[in-house]
Structure 1
């Protein structure tokens, strides 16, 4: 892991509205600037943190893509999430003071380090920051519940449709296209996350292409019919 102690000013970061609360006063932003004193660069395939490692910080993704995964009792890796720029990772370590999963870079990435003890201290002083931390935690809970719904009640087509819609919506919030995306994860990793076999993932992608819903060229995906994906996830009510 390549660690660089480089000053990162939150006040000048173009991702601040995604990972930091709005409405902080200049003095409060200055305090945050002092806390977030370094960033880390992680090469593709390298770990940001590993299961069992002591929890000391949260990480705001500045660039790149990550996957979080746990190793099952039989030695298989189970993907638990995908994280992109502007998102916070590392919350899994709060409850037991050690990380419960591995966070692995899917491409060369960079994160801002947020020492948790300092974040806790500032949260008690600045209500806006405390509210934002609670909001991030709540978002993680809601996301976990959404994944449970995917795995528990949805067919393969519905799972993949929901996954693509969620991914493109998150990317669009960061200024990217509403209909085009590059998959940073493999189809096997998608299958692990969605509880689907690799063959099922590939077959479902092919079916979407045959139906004219998407176009796929290796990892490039063009969503040609967003409404068709939405209908799969939320089918119209029948009279």
Structure 2
């Protein structure tokens, strides 16, 4: 049986979590914090490849990865896996079931992870009584919807390099939002997962990474990525015309 977290542990473990203001909003009194603490269950260890939930499961809880990352996937009519999204540490997982009450996808651990499980009915009950908590929950849900919208924006981009640049730029921003570097990070997902997410062939993604590295925009070693020229990556991510790399280097040197 899962037991509640002690509040001191909750404060430490959620310091870089998108739910930190749900647990520790400004102006919340001690007894109210205790009520929030009571509904957060102890972390659950998830092994690589394990599912948090499957398609058709009813909405019972939402989850936050304390460490580790997840992908949400569904299957095409042909049985091929389609990647719908990625979830970094501190981001809410499971909101896809809000509309119909059951999950339309499954969440798969990209590596060993620890998650915080929050029973959804209890969370909404407490949020209804605490306006600050309710506001923060809506803000987190809004961020999730924005990521879905950004994904659709990636898929309608005709140029593969634009999709890849937009993906890396957005991922860097999400790392920044959870208190990590926006320009030096390790990809938690494989190149195959990136390809499925962007609707591209694996070879196209590999060539895209190589080209960005050759042009001096990024530096890649395995899954470790350094964004060397953030301005150029931003320009490419927003549909900028191709620029001769030599001309860009000359401009930068000047």
TM-score by length of 1: 0.91
Which residue matches 1:7? Answer: 5
Aligned match for 2:38, one of 7, 21, 34: 34
Q: 1: distance between equivalents of 2:206 and 2:16?
A: 37
Q: Does 1:124 align with 2:122?
A: no
Match of 2:245 in 1: none
Asked if 1:180 is matched to 2:221, the reply is no
Separation in structure 1 between the aligned mates of residue 18 and residue 132 of structure 2, nearest angstrom: 14
Matching residue of 1:84: 88
Deviations 1:95-117 (A, max 9, x none): 22221111011011111111011
Could you say what secondary structure the match of 1:95 adopts? coil
Look up the SS of the partner of 1:18 in the other structure: coil
Q: Give unmatched runs, 5+ long, in structure 2.
A: 242-254
The answer to whether the 8 Å contact 2:4/2:39 transfers is no
8 Å Cα contact 1:20-1:132 kept in structure 2: no
Hey, what does 2:246 align to over in structure 1? none
Q: Does 1:216 align with 2:214?
A: no
- What's the CA shift string for 1:189-210, capped at 9, x where partnerless? 1011111111110110111111
Q: How does 1:1-239 map to 2 (within 5 A)?
A: 5=3, 7=5, 9=7, 10-15=10-15, 18-21=18-21, 22-23=25-26, 24-234=28-238
| TM-superposition CA deviations, 1:65-111 (whole Å, max 9, x none) | 10001111110111011001111111112222221111011011111
The count of aligned residue pairs is 235
1:121-160: per-residue Cα shift (whole Å, max 9, x none)? 1011111111112112222222211111111135211111
From the CA coordinates, give the structure whose radius of gyration is larger: 2
User: How far has the Cα of 1:8 moved from its partner?
Assistant: 5.0
Unpaired runs of 5+ in structure 1?
none
State the partner residue of 2:244. Answer: none
Runs of 4+ aligned residues of structure 1 deviating over 4 Å after TM superposition are 3-6
Q: CA RMSD in A?
A: 2.0
